[in-house]
Each structure stands twice: as C-alpha cells, then as structure tokens.
Structure 1
Amino acid sequence: MLHRTSPLLAPLAVAVLMLAGCASADAGTPAASPASGGHGAVDGAKEMSEPPLAVVTIDPGGVVRQLDLLDETVAELGDVPAASRASTDGRHVFADSGDGLAIVDSGRWTWDHVDHFHYYLAAPVMLGQVAGRGPATVATTSSSTTGSTGIFFAGSGEAVLLDTAAMSKGELVERFRLETAPHDGMAVPIGSYALVTQPQGGVAASVSIVDEDGMPQPGAGADCTDARGTVTTRVGAVIGCADGALLATLVDGEVELERIPYPEGTTAPPATAFAGRDGRPTVAGPAGDQGIWLLDTRARTWTLLAVDRPIVQATAVDDEAQHVLALGADGRVLVIDGTTGALLAQTEPLVAESLATDAGSPTLVADQPRAYLNGPAERAVYEIDFADAARISRTFETPTSPALLVVTGR
C-alpha cells in the first residue's frame, strides 16, 4: 500500500558550494552559448564541441574529486557524508551513505537528440541531501535536464520522485514521497509516471504505476517477484524480476509493461544488476557463476554468454563489434564477443588487491571507445582501450583511495 508523506530535504553540512573557477572549465572548444530552455541547455552553461567527459571519484572520507578526461586536470568539488555506493545520470552524482542521499551536479552533460547531440559545461555544484533511512536505490532516465529521478530508501520504504529539471537548475524538489513497507525496492521514472515496487513478506513482489503526483493508476501494474536491478535504455525502463524482466515503454503518453522472460529451460541465476553504454538498447549483468546475461530491449531477447571464470560485473558496449566488458573476480577486465562469448582480450589483474580487501568496490564503466575502472586499494583509475587488445591507454594515480567512481559528461 502506498501512503503519501510530506517532502523532506536536509542540507549538506557543506551547504551549497559553487566552483566558479573550476580548472577544467575551458576544456574542449566552446561553441556559441545556447539559449536557455532548449536542447538541454541551462543558464550559465557553455555549449561544447565534444563531450566534456570526467571521472568523478569519492574517497572513504567523502571527498569528491573530478578528473577532466580532456585536459587531465583535477578539481576537488567538496565533501559528502561517507558513502558506500554511487551512481549517475551522466551529469548528477548520487552518493548513498545509508542515511540519506547526497547529490552533486558535475556541471557536465549531453543532450541526446538521437541523430545528433549537444554537449554542455557549467560550474559544478554541491546540491544537498535527500533525507531517508537505509540504502538508497537511484533510477534515472536518459535526460539529466528533464523528467524525474527516482529514489527508494530500503530502511524506511519511502519512494521519492525528484524533479530533474529543477535539479539541473540547482534545486532539490520532491514531486512526491510515498511510504510502503520497508524493503529493497525501486522507484523508476518513465515519462510523467513512475514504477514503484510493492513488497510481500519483505521482498519486492510487484510493480505499481503512479503519476508524477504520486497518485496510483487504477489497475496498472504487474507482478515482479524479487524485483532487483533497474536501468533505462534507448527503448525504455527495465526492472529485473526472478523470471525475466519488465520493460516499461511509453505508447501515446501512457505506460505499457511488457514481460521479457528468460529462455525456457535456463538454470542460470537471474540478473540482479544491469549496465551498458549510455543510449544503447542492450545491457548486461552477471548470471551468477554461469556467465553473463545480455538483455536486448529492442529485440526483447536474453542471451546467456558462458565465461570461463567468476564475474563480478558486466557491461554491454553494444557497438558495431558487439563488445561486452566484464570485471573478473581475479581483477582482470575481460573483452568478450557479445555474439559468440569468445574471449577477445584481457588486462593484467589491475584491481586484484581491491577485490581481496574491503578498501572499496571497483566499478567498470563503458564508454565508446574507452572504459574506466577504479582501483580503491591501488589508488588508481585506469582508462582501457578495449578495442585495442584491452590496452591500458592511461593510468591516473589518486591522492587518496578512489573508493567510488562514476563517469559524467555523457
């Protein structure tokens, strides 16, 4: 059952920090400044001629640093409460402390027009914190300037929908805050709606559709036993279920839910996390100890790729060569043929020490044509040219442990 509660926002101890003189503010070649309100532009942002990509890391003490991948300068953005995990919509960084969600605007984003793109650079901002209890699951759309951002706090069972357009202008505005029974759930935005998990026996068992004011849509929803893992692709929003995935798409402004079942007779464990290159239809996730699941949301199909070793993470590049990247439990990055499952290349064990200790969680992020991996124990961030025999193209040493990593500017 959903219950509405009043919005509650708590400021960070560091309040609002604007970095007007960021060292990387002139990276790339600026084009003419765009008019506000169009093509993903925001007042004060510069339009760029190429993506202003950056790696954002958070150390164990909560210090947030941003590495400009064009000119290799580093800016310290501020502090957040010590976080256990981080995610991004390509612009905003969401740092989960287990007692609220801190949000940082990296000041870098891409507006996707499908057939062309617009790139923007602005001053980064420490936006503040959304209050909540327990681990926070964040679900975003493909836009960092429009629509909504979903947050679910497992400890309190609260589903929160933030106004992404307001967030892109420096404000944290809750469209709704709904109460359910505490569980490891999700609030997944799509169009002017959101999918909110409903528990049974403390486990997510179904999905309801609510509008952006938090009002349930009568009769709208679907069963989704043990719902875990969500991602938004070019096609729609995905939620993982024990028997497959729910794909939510917009048809004439309304949400349609479609079930994509696992192949008949499969014994591989379900995917509980999904990752892929931004703007592509195919995503990947570990299939327990049996390999990697690939979900093609355009074709509505699953493919199981056998891998010869335990996998910690997997992500689909979904490029012309159908590359799939994986982080092995031995600390190596694997480059796999997504059509045959053949191992094409692998790195040395870059983050073996991190995986063997509790220094932090290495995160593998795929872009085109590079991938990025943090080594918390190794105090390094690796840039990997996966199309060139998994060559390490750059290694960035860090002053403290890069415990958490996201890539912004896409």
Structure 2
Amino acid sequence: MTITENAHPPISSPRRSFAPRGPASRAPALRATALTGLALAATLALVSCGGAPSTSGAPGTAGTEGANPSASHAASADDHEGTEAESAQSRLVITHDGGMTVLDTGTGKAVANVDLKGFNRVNPAGDGRHVLVSTTGGFQVLDAGTWSEPHGEHHHYFTGTPALEELKFPATTPGHAVNHGGVTALFDDGTGTVNTFTPSELGGDSLPPTQEYKTSAAHHGVAVQLANSQMLITEGTSESRNGAKLLAAPDAKGARAVLAESSDCPGVHGEATAKGEALVLGCEDGLLLIKDATFTKIASPDAYGRIGNQAGSDASTVVLGDYKKDKNAELERPKTFSLTDTATGKLTLVPIDYSYSFRSLARGGDGAALMLGTDGKLHIYNPETGKESAAVDIVAPWEEPLDWQQPRPAIFADGTVAYVSDPAKKLVHTVDLASAKVSASYPLDHIPNEITGVSGEADAAHAAH
C-alpha cells in the first residue's frame, strides 16, 4: 500500500514478504557505514527473548562486544549466526536530520543509530528484514538485523547488528518503491526508469538481479508489478502527468507489450492495492481503477477533487484516501477524507472536524482505516461504513508544516499495532488497535521524521503502513 504526497511524496510502503534463507545464505555479511554511540552488544541481548546471548563472536551479534561494526561485517555469511530469539523481533526504522534510528519494538531500545547525511526516505524492501533508504544516488539497503530461518515445518528467529550496507540500487532521483506479489518495483523520477527485483534475494555481496523498463519520459511516477507479472506504470513528463499503462509480462527478450492504457488521470500520483488485487492511482479528479486488465475512472464529486495519497489493505476492497478540493491553496489542510470501494466503484467522502497530513493514513491488519489527526488523536474507522469506532489520544494538537520535509506526527501500522511518532516530545508511541489504547511510549535521541518497520517474520507477506 502507499502513502504519498506533494512534489516528492513519501515512497509507497511495500508489502512485506519473506522467502526462506537456507544455511548457505544465512544472515549475509553486513557491510556497514558508521554506527554511532551505542553499546550494541548489551542492547541486542535484551531482544533475544530471554535467551542467553551468543558467545561465538559471530559478527553483529551480542557476542561482539567491543568489536568495530564496520570491520566485523566483512566476515563471510557462513559464520554470521546472529542471536536466536524465541519469536520474531520486529524493528522500526525512524529517520531524523542526518541519520536513522533502528528501534526494537519489544524493548523500546535503540539497537543502532546510523549516520547518513541529507534528507532520507525509508520503506521496507519487502522481505521482512531490509529497508530501502532513498538517498543520494539511489536506493541504499539497510539491514535492520532481524530475520527468520526455516527448519522443517517451523522457523527459527534471530537478531543481529543493524547496518547500512554499501549496496545501492542506482537512481538519479529515487522515488516510489512498491512491493507487491513478491517483487519490488523502484521508480527513478530522474529518468523514468523502473527496476524490479525479488526482495527474498537480498543478501550477500551483491544486489539481486533487476529487470529494467523505461517509461516514455522522466516524471514523478510509480510502478507496481502484479502477481501474474503484468506491471502497472504511470506515464508523463516533468511538466504534466495524466497517463498510465498496464504492461504484459515480459517476453523471452524482456519486452513488455501494452495491454491497456488510459490518459484520464490528471496529476496522476500514488497507488494502492485492495483485496482481490484491485489497484488504484490517484488523480486530481478522482481515482483510476485497474482491475481485470481494464481501466475504470472513479470521478470525484468536485471538478477538482484530488486524491493524491492512498492506503490499501488485502483485507478490504475499500481504499482509504485523502481529499483536497482547493486547487490554488499553497497547502490545503483538508477536513474530508475518501473511502473508495474497488468492488462497486463507489467513492464516499467522510467529513471530519480535524485535519491531517500525507503521513497520517494507514490500515490495520483487519482493514480498519486509520487517520492520525491534527487534534492529536488516532481515529479508527470502519472502511465499509465510514463510521468512527474509536479515537485514541496520543500527541498534542499540531499543524501540518508548509515544508513537506519537516517533521510532523507520522504513523506506521503493522497488523494489530500502530506506531506513532511524536516530534514535539521526541517519542514514539505504540497503540494497540484492538483495545484502542496507547500501550507504550519510547524516548528517542533525535526528532523523528519518517517511520517504517520490518517484522523479522517468515510469513511477513501482509501489507504494512
């Protein structure tokens, strides 16, 4: 699913999937840039579910106290075992000015601080372990240091030292990264090039193989590969975007034929996938629905009714979207959001008494529509009816900043749990969606900006964020 906005929208939040790692590829060697200011060994011991810390001295594990992270990650994949845990250990990756924090969700402790200059974007790579960091020159791979390994009919779970690897998928202007159907599609806004890869193949000393497709011109776009290997792409230029194409699976030479196309989506922006693999693209006058190899326009009731940010769920046919109707506003702070049923084509507008930002939309594991409001509450809605079921007080009331890169409260949802950043207090809050209560609040060393996460689970093929 995708949460996107403005001139350089947040990259879509990929679906997380996992392919088992065999012994030969176990916990690949981690190539790190500087990890700063942490007693990594002591912290990692806390996240091993009570198990005794490893004493093998394997790189990046709790047995490497005093080791230089960059040097230790030069070891081979075969001698990197990790610290075994009783269950999968999920972790958050939270950006701040000049770097990122990797946070263990079980303890609330930072297991790594990673220095990386500039304004960085983060999204799960799609394997339940790695995160893609959009930075200068491309999509860089961050190993969050949590993974699963198959053993007969069950899995073993491990944690290790997070590391920003030297591996980077090249892109002049890295934009959206969308994982769907076990494939991740990377869109380079600077060239209009799409590169797809299989995230389960991440690891080792080199990037996994990629397949390239080039759109007709450079533009701020997006691509999604379907389960049948067909691919949806946007088309446009740096001045105007209003088109999309559905491409056939690649032939023996890698070429893709055009199966369907549409030019009926002015300002095309963002994507989301709903139950039944129905896809939508946002337009300035509604949505473009792609289902069964057919494009269908779902029009807004207003001449300008922009739905530029969407969040989908495999558990629901309904797509959650924003809704803006002031074309001339420098920054519209909307008081309405949209729910679009991809099964019926019905678009419903829901009036609200608060506003929100592009980092406010998410979905619960049961398909619940989540809206993080400027009133400081997390609002939980039934996507079928648009009725609010709960409102959780989390942060102080806030206002969306004019500069889209500036921090504001943001949400990342993972099944029955939502994580909400609190820049004003340098906290991240954990919300139990079933009880609609804040279950924990963890301090951060930096002002948080973007937030995403990985599960470390073998069966992480559900949608996240």
2:96 equivalent in structure 1: 59
**Partner SS for 1:165:** helix
Worse-matched range after superposition: 399-408 or 47-56: 47-56
Select the residue among 435, 439, 444 that pairs with 1:393: 439
TM-superposed deviation, 1:299: 6.3
- Whether the 8 Å CA contact 2:275–2:317 is kept in 1: the answer is yes
TM-superposed deviation, 1:141: 1.7
Distance 1:257 1:54, change over 3 A: same
1:93 equivalent to 2:93? Answer no
1:207 equivalent in structure 2: 245
Could you give the per-residue CA deviations for residues 310-350 of structure 1, whole angstroms, max 9, x where no partner exists?
A: 2222223263xx64221223443223343243363241544
TM-superposed deviation, 1:212: 5.4
| Higher RCO (CA-CA < 8 Å; seq separation 6+) | 2
Larger radius of gyration: 2
Percentage identity across aligned positions?
20
- Whether the 8 Å CA contact 2:429–2:440 is kept in 1: the answer is yes
AA matched with 2:171: G
Distance 1:282 1:82, change over 3 A: farther
In the alignment, the residues of structure 2 paired with residue 107 and residue 205 of structure 1 have an alpha-carbon distance, to the nearest angstrom, of 40
TM-superposed deviation, 1:117: 9.7
In the alignment, the residues of structure 2 paired with residue 282 and residue 59 of structure 1 have an alpha-carbon distance, to the nearest angstrom, of 33
Could you give the per-residue CA deviations for residues 250-299 of structure 1, whole angstroms, max 9, x where no partner exists?
A: xxxxxx42445436846682422222567665442212235222345566
1:404 equivalent to 2:435? Answer no
2:414 equivalent in structure 1: 367
Select the residue among 124, 147, 171 that pairs with 1:132: 171
In the alignment, the residues of structure 2 paired with residue 117 and residue 271 of structure 1 have an alpha-carbon distance, to the nearest angstrom, of 43
- Whether the 8 Å CA contact 1:351–1:362 is kept in 2: the answer is no
User: What is the aligned-residue RMSD (CA, Å)?
Assistant: 3.8
- Whether the 8 Å CA contact 1:87–1:95 is kept in 2: the answer is yes
**Partner SS for 1:399:** coil
TM-score by length of 1: 0.74
**Partner SS for 2:200:** helix
1:175 equivalent to 2:210? Answer yes
In the alignment, the residues of structure 1 paired with residue 317 and residue 203 of structure 2 have an alpha-carbon distance, to the nearest angstrom, of 25
- Whether the 8 Å CA contact 1:351–1:375 is kept in 2: the answer is no
2:188 equivalent in structure 1: 153
Matches within 5 A, 1:194-343: 194-199=231-236, 202-209=240-247, 211=249, 215-223=254-262, 225=265, 226-236=267-277, 238-242=279-283, 243-247=286-290, 256-259=292-295, 261-262=297-298, 265=301, 269-276=305-312, 282-288=318-324, 289=334, 291-297=336-342, 302-312=347-357, 313-317=360-364, 319=366, 323-338=368-383, 339-342=385-388
In the alignment, the residues of structure 1 paired with residue 288 and residue 340 of structure 2 have an alpha-carbon distance, to the nearest angstrom, of 9
Could you give the per-residue CA deviations for residues 202-226 of structure 1, whole angstroms, max 9, x where no partner exists?
A: 3151224154588443341321523
**Partner SS for 1:140:** strand
Worse-matched range after superposition: 395-404 or 281-290: 281-290
In the alignment, the residues of structure 2 paired with residue 340 and residue 239 of structure 1 have an alpha-carbon distance, to the nearest angstrom, of 19
TM-superposed deviation, 1:104: 1.1
**Partner SS for 1:235:** coil
- Whether the 8 Å CA contact 2:233–2:245 is kept in 1: the answer is yes
AA matched with 1:179: K
**Partner SS for 1:206:** strand
Q: Which structure has greater strand proportion?
A: 1
1:75 equivalent to 2:115? Answer no
TM-superposed deviation, 1:398: 0.5
- Whether the 8 Å CA contact 1:292–1:306 is kept in 2: the answer is yes
AA matched with 2:409: P
1:23 equivalent to 2:44? Answer yes
TM-score by length of 2: 0.66
Distance 1:350 1:382, change over 3 A: farther
